[in-house]
Amino acid sequence: MDERITHLEDLIGRTLVFGIPGPRLTVRDVKLFRETRAAGLILYRINYESPDQIRKLIGDLEEALGRRLLVTMDHEGGRVVMLGGGVTVFPDNLAFGHGGSPRDTAEQGRIEARELRRLGIDVNFAPVVDVLTDDYSPNIGIRSYGDDPRRVAALAAGRIKTMQAAGVSACAKHFPGLGPATLDPHLDLPVIRVGWGELRRRHLVPFETAVRAGVDMVMSSHPLYPNLDGTRVPATFSRRIVTGVLRGDLGFRGVAVSDDLEMGALRRFGGPGPSAVRAVQAGHDLILCCHRADFQRRIYRDLRDGYKTGALRLEDLEKSVERISALRAWKSPRFAPGTPAPEPGAEALARRVARRAVTVTGLLRPLDERKSKVCIVFPRLSEPADKIFVEEDLLDEKAFLKTATAHAPVNKDICIVPLNPKLLDVRRAVAAARAADRTVFFCYETRLMPGCRRMLDALQRASKNLVVVLLRSPYDRSFVRPGVPVVTAFGYRLCQIKACLEKIFPARPRPR
């Protein structure tokens, strides 16, 4: 075989980050990584069973290939947690935005890096530094630190510095700013009509701060920004945005990584193979393709053909590999010493931030505890447990609620409903609410789950004393009638739900 071709294929492989479909290594997985020379692995919930198992999966793949991999993960905290053990489950970024400080996010970064390094993780695709707007954000939402660009920047920078100091590369995302997107790029192509003035004034501020803080990676986004790039292509394909703004204007010298090229936003642009070529032409160093082996092989072939035909430049590839090779991960041991476990003091930090973040709008009227009956309508958060990480206490929602509210001597009727309730579920909850002195409705998300909106509207009509707890979407407040007390959690992790329950069912003072 021509040594130049072999060298080219090895270089291409260094720029590829692929996922695999299960928790145990298969012959097909090894064959894929050998044939494509892929040097990056991204891990998801489907890959995790236990800390020991995830370490074995990484070790088995590296042993089979005879080479070191760049092991990556989305470990944002809150909504986006892939590991069910060995790590602390922190509240969402928006909870830190409302109840945390740069000192808190710095402590979070140090903690999560120590926990991830014991599990063999080199790169954390976090933090999200997108700035929210007044528009409903279906994809970013509680993943963001908020709508104040300087506060977002300060919170993110604290986390980036300590995470990287403890040995895990951080990644600021989603460049040049996904906060205004009203469509989820996983599903469709968002169009963001910000101009250059607004972009520089708001959405680039956290990225500029992250670059000054020395962030190792920046991840781009897939939306169309028609007022920024006259070619009317997604930011992933825009050399003006990736090379001109990120490299030129912001002076970023680290690794530019694409978001997953399998997302629905890019479906109309020829699929992952052609998208990879266009992403490289725009200036990306690392290419993510997270799920399907046929797409991953197509990306490898299309990139190889692109370099052979001259559509892609070998000198750009060599520079990309130099930047990737400079990452601290290659110099660290695969697993940091120690048994995978949450860091001391980490859960206390999570609880403290969750409590400070909870906001109450309106008056929570006291009840005559001995005579009152409270109906709790709560979503079945365990429903997607086969796809996303659900904390153990929430796998049995009714048992959890009984324990968490045991100190409150009111009569409680706990009604567990699906995330997207059917009409029968709504009727059942309404009947319980009518028989109660107070109803507490934990509202998951009304726009993504129309049944949840029906439930909210029905309970507002039926309940004589309603309290609404907003979990996944603080934007749902616009559907709550004036005068109805609203408790906003900014997320639905265990520490956040407990913090809301403490507000609604406060502990009684002990008699002296």
In single-letter form, the type of residue at position 92 comes to D
Cα 190 from chain centre: 18
For residue 177, the Cα-to-chain-centroid distance in whole angstroms is: 15
Q: Is 186 a catalytic residue?
A: yes
CB of 70 within 8 A of CB of 39? yes
What's the DSSP call for residue 300?
A: H
Pairing type for strands 16-18 and 40-43 reads parallel
Q: What does the chain come to in residues?
A: 512
Contact present, 250 and 204 (Cβ < 8 Å): yes
Query: Phi then psi for 305, rounded to 5 degrees?
Result: -65, -35
Q: Where does 285-443 have alpha helices with state H?
A: 293-309, 314-325, 346-357, 397-404, 423-434
Query: In angstroms, rounded to a whole number, what is the distance separating the alpha carbons of residues 475 and 50?
Result: 35
Active-site residue flag, 188: no
Q: Which long-range contacts (CB under 8 A, 24 or more apart) does 319-322 make?
A: 320/14, 320/15, 320/255, 320/280, 320/284, 320/285, 320/286, 321/11, 321/14, 321/15, 321/285
3-state secondary structure 99-153: HCCHHHHHHHHHHHHHHHHHCCCCEECCCECCCCCCCCCCCCHHHCCCCCHHHHH
Q: Where are the beta strands (DSSP E) in 380-462?
A: 411-417, 438-443
Lookup result for tokens 């991999």: 69
Task: Please say whether the beta carbons of 142 and 79 come within 8 A.
Answer: yes
CA–CA distance, 273 with 279 (Å, rounded to integer)? 10
Of 60, 148, 184, 186, the catalytic one is: 186
Could you tell me the two tokens for 275?
């998208």
Q: What angle do CA 337, 341, 347 make, to 5 degrees?
A: 135
Q: Element (H or E) spanning 60, and its range? A: helix 51-65
The catalytically annotated residue of 229, 259, 302, 476 is 259
Q: At what angle do helices 314-325 and 272-282 cross, to 10 degrees?
A: 80
Instruction: In whole angstroms, give the CA distance from residue 394 to residue 326.
Output: 42
Residues 6+ apart with CB under 8 A from 349: 88, 90, 104, 107, 108, 111
Distance CA 126, CA 329 (A): 16
Cβ(487)–Cβ(393) below 8 Å: no
Does the N-terminal peptide bond of residue 176 adopt cis geometry, omega within 30 degrees of 0?
yes
Catalytic residues: 186, 259
